[in-house]
């Protein structure tokens, strides 16, 4: 009989290090796949949010014969698109709390507004992209307003900004220069205000005015990027700093820039991308593009490589530019 030595064979240090290295490599290969799967799930949720909002626009139109305006500045009611769509998104309880006969800022000049701002502190998940970590108004850090108010990442399309061909431009209510004000020794601008899309101040658009076709006209776009500084309370619509301007579109934006330009901090126009209210830069944390809702009820993930002229053509309702994207 062979005599036992009393020792058992185990891993050597080299073998243990090799096993640890292999496990590390496998985890490194698996982690991007897990992250990609999570992002895919978040993007699906974002698409569903946009779908729900666009369908609520249809329900609003069916009942009222038109889409809601971006805001009613002439009546000093700074309440936005989303506040008016609440009943059509199974959010009647929140809608019934809002006082639509009074402006958003009932107690202007006080640090903490009362009234309708209170209801912006209610978080509505359908108004927020799950891929963006910023979900509250950015106004408190600068102006000490809208504390604890939730924002939105989805904005109506006010229209297109710039030239539509070599001889003419899209119509603007105000250019960027006209929509500026000297404040504290500096020129402040809310950006140009278009009215060739679906949502702009003091007027409502009906489906029969969308002569480019419902399937060729975008109604909603996503701004869900950490650099953007125009995040305001989701209940708010357009408003003005003074009777002389500038007017800021809050619940709708004009299409002026390519998709995802907010990711390029080296661009000389970056300060405008992140601050212009009325023509915010549509961007997202989804790789490669952003989510847009078409007024026919469909939702599309639009690539950041899409030509700007195509995006602008889709942003205008009746310019004769029939685009497919």
Supply the pLDDT for residue 2: 55
In a domain, 184, yes or no: yes
For residue range 203-215, list pLDDT tens digits in order: 999 999 999 999 9
- Using the predicted structure, report yes or no on whether residue 110 has a pLDDT greater than 90: no
Which 3 state secondary structure label does DSSP give 10?
A: coil
- Our count of domains for the chain comes to 1
Q: What angle do CA 58, 127, 113 make, to 5 degrees?
A: 110
In a domain, 322, yes or no: no
Of 174, 185, 156, 196, the residue nearest 245 (C-alpha)? 174
- Using the predicted structure, report yes or no on whether residue 120 has a pLDDT greater than 70: yes
- Using the predicted structure, report yes or no on whether residue 27 has a pLDDT greater than 80: no
In a domain, 227, yes or no: yes
Q: Judge contact between 190 and 178, C-beta under 8 A.
A: no
Top-confidence range, 81-90, 134-143, 184-193: 81-90
- Biggest distance spanned by C-alpha atoms of the chain: 106
Q: Judge contact between 161 and 177, C-beta under 8 A.
A: no
Is the model more confident about 5 or about 149? 149
pTM reported for the whole predicted model = 0.85
For residue range 237-255, list pLDDT tens digits in order: 888 766 666 888 999 999 9
Supply the pLDDT for residue 241: 66
List the domain range (segments joined by +) for residue 178.
14-315
Supply the pLDDT for residue 246: 81
Of 93, 110, 136, the residue nearest 231 (C-alpha)? 136
Return mean pLDDT, the chain. Answer: 86
How far out from the chain centre does Cα 234 lie?
10
In a domain, 40, yes or no: yes
Is the model more confident about 176 or about 154? 154
Of 87, 83, 88, 170, the residue nearest 118 (C-alpha)? 83
Is the model more confident about 143 or about 312? 312
- Using the predicted structure, report yes or no on whether residue 52 has a pLDDT greater than 90: yes
- Using the predicted structure, report yes or no on whether residue 264 has a pLDDT greater than 80: yes
- Using the predicted structure, report yes or no on whether residue 112 has a pLDDT greater than 60: no
Query: 144's torsion region: left (phi>0), alpha (psi -120 to 50) or beta?
Result: left
Sorting pLDDT into bands at 50, 70 and 90, what band is 75?
low
Of 275, 320, 324, 317, the residue nearest 160 (C-alpha)? 317
Of 81-90, 187-196, 237-246, 279-288, the range with the lowest mean pLDDT is: 237-246
Q: Whole-angstrom Cα distance, residue 270 to residue 158? A: 21
Supply the pLDDT for residue 127: 96
Sorting pLDDT into bands at 50, 70 and 90, what band is 158?
very high
Q: Judge contact between 57 and 295, C-beta under 8 A.
A: yes
Mean pLDDT of 194-206: 94
In a domain, 321, yes or no: no
In a domain, 57, yes or no: yes
| Dihedral in degrees, nearest 10, Cα atoms 83, 84, 88, 90 | 30
In a domain, 153, yes or no: yes
Sorting pLDDT into bands at 50, 70 and 90, what band is 106?
very low
Mean pLDDT of 274-298: 92
Phi, psi of 155 (to 5 degrees): -130, 140
In a domain, 1, yes or no: no
In sequence order, what E strands does the chain have? 154-160, 172-174, 180-183, 186-189, 193-194, 218-222, 239-240, 247-248, 252-255, 289-294, 299-303
Q: What is the DSSP string of 33-94?
A: HHHHHHHHHHHHHHHHHHHHHHHHHHHHHHHHSSPPPS-BGGGTB-B-HHHHHGGGGT-HHH
Q: Which residues contact 131 (CB under 8 A, 6 or more apart)?
A: 39, 42, 43, 46, 224, 284, 285, 286
Mean pLDDT of 276-292: 91
- Using the predicted structure, report yes or no on whether residue 109 has a pLDDT greater than 60: no
Which 3 state secondary structure label does DSSP give 154?
A: strand
């Amino acid at each position: 009989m062979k005599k036992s030595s009393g020792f058992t064979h185990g891993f050597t240090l080299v073998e243990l290090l090799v096993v640890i290295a292999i496990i590390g490599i496998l985890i490194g290969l698996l982690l991007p796949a897990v992250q990609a799967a999570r992002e895919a799930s978040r993007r699906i949720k974002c698409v569903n949010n946009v779908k729900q909002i666009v369908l609520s626009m249809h329900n609003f139109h069916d009942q009222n014969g038109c889409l809601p305006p971006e805001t009613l500045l002439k009546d000093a009611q700074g309440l936005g698109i989303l506040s008016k769509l609440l009943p059509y998104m199974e959010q009647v309880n929140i809608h019934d709390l809002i006082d639509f006969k009074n402006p958003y800022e009932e107690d202007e000049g006080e640090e903490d507004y009362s009234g309708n701002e209170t209801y912006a502190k209610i978080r509505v998940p359908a108004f927020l992209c799950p891929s963006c970590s910023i979900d509250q108004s950015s106004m408190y850090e600068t102006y000490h307003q809208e504390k604890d108010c939730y924002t939105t990442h989805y904005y109506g399309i006010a229209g297109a900004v710039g030239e539509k061909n070599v001889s003419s431009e899209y119509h603007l209510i105000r250019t960027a220069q006209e929509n500026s004000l000297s404040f504290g020794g500096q020129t402040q601008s809310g950006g140009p205000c278009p009215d060739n899309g679906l949502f702009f101040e003091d007027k409502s658009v009906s489906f029969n005015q969308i002569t480019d076709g419902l399937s060729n006209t975008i109604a909603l776009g996503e701004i869900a990027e950490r650099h953007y500084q125009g995040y305001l309370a989701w209940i708010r619509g357009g408003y003005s700093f003074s009777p002389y301007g500038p007017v800021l579109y809050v619940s709708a934006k004009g299409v002026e820039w390519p998709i995802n330009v907010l990711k390029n901090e080296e661009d000389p126009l970056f300060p405008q991308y992140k601050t212009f209210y009325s023509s915010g830069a549509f961007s997202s944390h989804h790789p490669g593009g952003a989510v847009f809702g078409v007024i026919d009820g469909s939702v599309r993930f639009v690539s950041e490589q899409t030509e700007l002229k195509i995006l602008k053509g889709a942003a205008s309702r009746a310019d004769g530019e029939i685009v497919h994207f």
